[in-house]
Structure 1
Amino acid sequence: MRLELTPWAEEDLGLLRRINVPEMKGHLGGPESEDKIVDRHRRYVHMSVTGTGVMFRVALLPEHTPVGSIGYWDREWHGSTVWETGWSILNEFQGRGIASEAARRVIALAAADGRRRWLHAFPKIENVASNAVCRNAGFTMVGETDFEFPVGTPIRCNEWKLDLKTVGQ
C-alpha cells in the first residue's frame, strides 16, 4: 500500500468536516459544532509551529486521495510529558490496513523527533478497530483507564504505550 503523510494545512478543513460525522465520531463523543471544528483545524495547522506535536493528512498514492488524519501531540500523563497519538480514517477506506500503516509511520516520525520517550494511544475499550491498530503497530497494552475526549466528556479507554527508544532496534 502506498500512502503519504503530509503536515496538516489550511486546505485540510474540508477533510476534517468529512471526519466529523456520527459514524466516524461514535467512539469520540459524537460530532463537534462547526466552531469547534474550525478551532480544531487551527490547532492542527499550528501544532508544528508551537512544537507541541504534528498532525498529518493521510492520503493514498498515486492519486493523493485524502483518506484521513493522524498525528502526535503533547499529553501530560501521570506526571510526565508524553506523546499521544490518534487517527481517523474515512469509513469508505477502513479495513484496508491504512490506519496501521499510518500509525507505523507516525511511530517512526515521533521516534526521530527525539523529544519524548513514550508514545501513548487511548482508544475506547469498545473500539475494536483502533485497539487492533495499536496492537498491529507494536504498542503494548497497559490496561483500562479513564480519559476525556473531547475535554469534558469522560470515556473509558484502553491505554496503549510504545517506547520510542526501541524503534529501529
Structure 2
Amino acid sequence: MELNGGRRVLLVPWAGGDMWLLRRCNTPEMTDQLGGPESEEQLVSRHRRYCEPAAGRMYRIVLDGDDGDGETVGSIGYWEHEWQGATVWETGWAVLPEYQGRGLAVSAARALIGVVREAGGHPTLHAFPKVDHSASNGVCRKAGFTLRGQADFEYPKGNPIRSNDWYVDLRAGLSG
C-alpha cells in the first residue's frame, strides 16, 4: 500500500526475532484498551502463538521506502473467532506511539483485508474495538469495514467490555 513520499506499508510475517515488538507494545499506554500490560509469561506464550499460528497469521507492519530500508511501526494480524454461532476471522492491530496518527493502521488494515480475502476460509473479517476507542473505530471506518452495531465482548477473557462489531464481507467484489 503506497503512502506519501513513496513509502509503503508492508506486512511482514511474524518471526522468532519479533519478541521485542511485543515487549515494546506492552505498556500501560499501548494496552489501556486491552486490559493492561501482560506478564512476561503471557508475552512469551503470545509470541509462541504468533510464530506458529494454527489458523490466521500475525505480521509486523513495516514502513518501507525506495531504498529498501524498513522501519517496524507496529503489528496486525487475523485469527479465528467464534462469533454468533459461526467461525469468522477477527483482526487487531497496534501501532507504536511515535507512528500513530499517520494513517499507517488504516493502510495496514486495507492490506490485511486483501491477504485474508486471498487466504479464504471464512466469509467475514471482524474487528471489535471498544465503543469509546475513537482511534480504532476510525481505522475500521477508513479501512472499509461496515459497522454492524454494538456487542458485548470479552477481552481479555473474563473482562466484559462493550465493543463495536465492524466487519468486511470478504466475498464482496469477487467474481467466479
Work out the CA distance in 1 between the residues paired with 2:72 and 2:156.
24
1:92 maps onto 2:95 in alignment: no
- With structure 2 as the length reference, what TM-score do the two structures score? 0.91
AA partner of residue 99 (structure 1)? A
Residue in structure 1 matching 2:64, options 61, 65, 90: 61
Residue in structure 2 matching 1:160, options 149, 166, 172: 166
Name the counterpart of 1:34: 40
TM-superposed deviation, 1:122: 0.1
- Choose between structure 1 and 2: higher helix proportion: 1
Match of 2:52, SS?
helix
Q: 1:57–1:167: structure 2 CA closer, same or farther, 3 Å change rule?
A: farther
Work out the CA distance in 1 between the residues paired with 2:74 and 2:63.
10
Work out the CA distance in 1 between the residues paired with 2:139 and 2:70.
22
Gaps of 5+ in 2: none
Alignment of 1:127-146 (within 5 A): 127-146=133-152
Corresponding residue pairs, total? 166
Residue in structure 2 matching 1:147, options 130, 153, 156: 153
How big is each residue's C-alpha offset from its partner over 1:86-112, in whole Å with a ceiling of 9 and x where there is no partner?
000001100000000000000001101
Work out the CA distance in 2 between the residues paired with 1:85 and 1:145.
16
AA partner of residue 58 (structure 1)? I
* Bigger radius of gyration among the two: 2
TM-superposed deviation, 1:24: 0.5
AA partner of residue 43 (structure 2)? I
Q: Is the 8 A contact 1:120 1:162 kept in 2?
A: yes
Name the counterpart of 1:103: 109
Q: Is the 8 A contact 1:111 1:167 kept in 2?
A: no
AA partner of residue 62 (structure 2)? A
Q: Is the 8 A contact 1:3 1:58 kept in 2?
A: yes
Please identify runs of 4+ aligned residues in structure 1 that moved more than 4 A: none
Work out the CA distance in 1 between the residues paired with 2:22 and 2:71.
14
TM-superposed deviation, 1:146: 1.1
Work out the CA distance in 2 between the residues paired with 1:168 and 1:19.
36
How big is each residue's C-alpha offset from its partner over 1:49-70, in whole Å with a ceiling of 9 and x where there is no partner?
x2x1110000111321111100
- With structure 1 as the length reference, what TM-score do the two structures score? 0.95
Q: 1:154–1:98: structure 2 CA closer, same or farther, 3 Å change rule?
A: same
TM-superposed deviation, 1:19: 0.6
Gaps of 5+ in 1: none
